Amino acid sequence: MCFGWQRGADSPPIRPEFHPQTSRRGSKSGPLQGGYPLLLGPDPYWPGLSSAPELLLNKKRTFRIFRRRAWHLAGRPKNKKKFMREVEFKHAVLPTLAKVSPEARAAKLSELLAAKEKQHADRRAAEGKTVLGRKRSLEANWYDRPLETDKSPRPLCHASSEEAYFAYRDHYRGVVADYRVASKRYLAGDYRVEFPTGTYPPPILQAALARPTAQAPAAVATG
């Protein structure tokens, strides 16, 4: 469940039992004002690509894409209109949410989000934490780096229960172990060895041997 892939992007897997309100809760733990992130407004109006309009408003969206490959094959004509196409953004509903109607699903998720927003807003108010404010936010330099950063290892996966997490962890470890065995045999010349599903054989690096430099024939002394 990762939208808007970009070069270099990475995302941990999400287990089928994972509930979207859990991930939404994590993204809403920042500064809050009036129950919503400052300057952003309610979920359906967040900037960027989000599944909120589909989940909370039952909206369908389309995007215009440019068929660059077809344009190049056609000789890169100046008129690009026929290479533009409207595509629908298809949102796959998780199994735990697909059992109810879209209206009931939107109402339930909105209720859960509102409750979590209030919980985080009350906690921040009790701790005496405030927000940056509109004026200072607009004055901030986009290219500045934070004075302090808090980095933590990426989780192996996102799951709604410890059982699902450990099940995925054990499965992942088994795949890694099987891949190491298959990779070792593959690099030793056994090209028919089977790799775990979803994995690829390692590359075989072959060094080119330099040809010996031709030496000039030795001079022959003549009488």
On the question of pLDDT at 64 being above 60, the answer is: yes
Phi, psi of 151 (to 5 degrees): -110, 145
Does 28 have pLDDT greater than 80? no
DSSP 141: -
pLDDT-derived band at 184 (thresholds 50, 70, 90) equals very high
pLDDT digits (tens, 9 = 90+) for 101-154: 989 989 988 898 889 888 888 988 899 887 777 788 888 887 888 777 777 888
Which pLDDT belongs to residue 51? 80
Burial level of 32, CB count in 10 A (0-12/13-18/19+)?
Answer: buried
In this structure, is the dihedral angle defined by the CA atoms of residues 145, 151, 155 and 159, taken in order, positive or negative?
negative
Domain ranges of the chain: 20-138, 161-198
Using alpha carbons only, how large is the chain's radius of gyration in Å? Answer: 28
Region 170-178: mean pLDDT is: 94
Q: How far apart are the first and last CA of the chain?
A: 88
For the cut 60, the answer to whether the pLDDT of residue 32 exceeds it is no
Beta pairing class for 32-33 and 62-66: unpaired
